[in-house]
Amino acid sequence: MELKLPLVVAPLGGRLVEAWVPAFWPRIHRVGPSLSSLKDDLALAVMERFEKDHPSRVASYQLPPHLSLKHVKVDTEARDREKGLRVVLKGRMAVLLEKWPRDDFWVVTPTRLAEARFAIPNAESLPLALGRRLGAWCLEHGLTNLEGFWAQGRERLELLEVDAYAPTLSLIHISEVT
């Protein structure tokens, strides 16, 4: 089975390159001097994960027809009065913007923070919605900043192609369905 996944690539300076599959950040993430070698390593990691994954998750390995990488400026403040927490977020966040033809919404995935994935009604609402979502996410997880998650501004979107065997239905999986 051929899989095609979005791959984010960022040059780090010198000869180092960073590459990762946003849906599986930080587990499927590599840094090295050769993008070709990184792609091979990442493809192997995806292949191993895919073959062990539950069959119901096969859809998460499909590439949507509408996909783009956006760098969105975030300047927001979130407060939790009960906990006395104040979070000020300022920076640029790299996000994947995905849409399937029959869906009437877009899925937004911060490339280094896949757990903060959310949906928006249209692409125009992205900047405001992203700020709100990241602020809420920080409050939910007790974070005061997003250090290490902000974009460096050099990320680009590529495609990672993987040949893998489809997950098999075991008796355990069949009993979960019935």
pLDDT in tens, 69-128: 999 999 999 999 988 889 999 999 999 999 999 999 999 999 999 999 999 999 999 999
d(C-alpha 82, C-alpha 79), whole Å: 9
Region for 43 from its dihedrals, namely left if φ exceeds 0, alpha if ψ lies in -120 to 50, beta otherwise: alpha
Long-range CB contacts (< 8 A, 24+ apart) of 148-151? 148/112, 149/93, 149/110, 149/112, 149/113, 150/91, 150/92, 150/93, 151/71, 151/91, 151/92, 151/93, 151/94, 151/111
State the residue for tokens 């809420």: 136
Per-residue model confidence (pLDDT) at position 83 = 85
Mean pLDDT of the region 54-80: 90
d(C-alpha 75, C-alpha 166), whole Å: 43
Confidence of residue 164 (pLDDT cuts 50, 70, 90): confident
pLDDT in tens, 13-44: 888 999 999 988 888 999 999 999 999 999 99
Q: Higher model confidence: residue 143 or residue 60? A: 143
Statement to judge: residues 74 and 120 lie in one domain: yes
Give me the domain span that covers residue 42: 2-62+155-177
SS3 150: coil
pTM (predicted TM-score)? 0.85
Give yes or no for residue 59 having a pLDDT over 80: no
Region for 41 from its dihedrals, namely left if φ exceeds 0, alpha if ψ lies in -120 to 50, beta otherwise: alpha
Statement to judge: residues 134 and 167 lie in one domain: no
Q: Higher model confidence: residue 71 or residue 62? A: 71
Per-residue model confidence (pLDDT) at position 167 = 67
Statement to judge: residues 32 and 19 lie in one domain: yes
SS3 120: strand
Statement to judge: residues 173 and 130 lie in one domain: no
User: How many domains does the structure of the chain reveal?
Assistant: 2
Statement to judge: residues 6 and 70 lie in one domain: no
Give the tokens for residue 171: 């008796």
Hey, which residues does 82 pair with through a beta bridge? Answer: none
Per-residue model confidence (pLDDT) at position 171 = 44
Q: Does some domain include residue 52?
A: yes
DSSP tag of 140: H
